[in-house]
């Protein structure tokens, strides 16, 4: 049986605009700008995604969202992809090009395939965590962008390790799932809404967000 691919899901673009997350009460920490991988310090998401996150945050009254990344154009996707490719090549000099690209693709979508819209390029993908009332990130077991099996959402449950991490991830995951977001099988911090990955994960007939650009 051939497994469905997210890029095969049709897109019925709804035309919803991107909004500046600086206008919302989230904690913003633009990771790729801070690393020098993007020239844009502002962070954006589709309007309904930002509003959904605000509603979730209200329900999690003791916690605030810290957002590391939202909308990301292909140009930034390309820089991140090439950085990770180089890091893996240095760490595993015995891997051939096919193996390297396969491993990179687990965590970073290829930016050059015109038939595959990177999820972050839709404005419907979000990388985030929870911060408590003292401004401290909840312990999720790994740092953001930890490229390893420990980043899998259910890793600590499957390995019966660290019950506090299990509970923290469960709080985040449960709140996002209840609001109709889709989880990522490899990254506890990544969630999708409205894009092709979301549609595939939730059994929707089509995505409502395609590739988008910031309106100047």
Ordered DSSP codes for 170-187: HHHHHHHHHTT-EE-SS-
Taking each helix axis as running N to C, give the angle between helix 47-59 and helix 163-178, from 0 to 180 degrees, rounded to the nearest 10: 130
Contacts (Cβ under 8 Å, ≥6 apart) of 77:
108, 109, 111, 118, 120, 121
> Which pLDDT band, with edges at 50, 70 and 90, does 113 fall under?
confident
169-194: average pLDDT:
97
Read off the tokens for 215: 């309106």
pLDDT at position 2:
40
| 3-state secondary structure at position 1 | coil
Q: Give the full edge-to-edge strand order of the sheet including 182-183.
A: 27-28, 64-69, 125-131, 190-192, 182-183
On whether the CB atoms of residues 86 and 9 are closer than 8 A, the answer is no
Q: Is the pLDDT of residue 119 over 50?
A: yes
Antiparallel, parallel or unpaired: β 64-69 and 125-131: antiparallel
Question: Could you tell me the fold of the domain covering 9-207?
Answer: Muramoyl-pentapeptide Carboxypeptidase; domain 2 (3.30.1380)
Q: What is the pTM of this model?
A: 0.90
CB 72 within 8 A of CB 46: no
Instruction: Specify the length of the chain in residues.
Output: 216
Domain boundaries of the chain, sorted by first residue: 9-207
Kindly report, residue by residue over 63-92, the tens digit of the pLDDT: 999 999 999 999 998 998 888 888 888 888
Residue 216 pLDDT level (bands cut at 50, 70, 90): low
Coil, strand or helix at 192: strand
């Amino acid at each position: 049986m051939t497994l469905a691919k997210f890029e095969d899901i049709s897109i019925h673009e709804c035309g919803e605009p991107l909004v500046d997350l600086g206008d919302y009460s989230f904690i913003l920490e633009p990771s790729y700008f801070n690393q020098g991988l993007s020239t844009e310090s502002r962070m954006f998401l589709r309007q309904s995604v930002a509003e959904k996150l605000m509603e979730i945050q209200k329900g999690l009254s003791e916690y605030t969202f810290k957002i590391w990344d939202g909308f990301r154009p292909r140009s930034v996707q390309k820089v991140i992809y090439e950085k990770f490719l180089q890091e893996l090549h240095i760490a595993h000099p015995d891997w051939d090009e096919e193996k390297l690209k396969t491993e990179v693709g687990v965590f970073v979508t290829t930016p050059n395939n015109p038939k595959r819209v990177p999820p972050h390029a839709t404005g419907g993908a979000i990388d985030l965590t929870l911060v408590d009332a003292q401004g401290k990130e909840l312990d999720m077991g790994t740092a953001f962008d930890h490229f390893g099996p420990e980043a899998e959402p259910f890793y600590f449950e499957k390995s019966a390790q660290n019950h506090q991490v299990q509970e923290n991830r469960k709080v985040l995951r449960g709140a996002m799932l209840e609001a109709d977001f889709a989880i990522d099988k490899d990254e506890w911090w990544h969630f999708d809404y409205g894009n092709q990955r979301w549609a595939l994960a939730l059994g929707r007939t089509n995505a409502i967000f395609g590739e988008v650009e910031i309106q100047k």
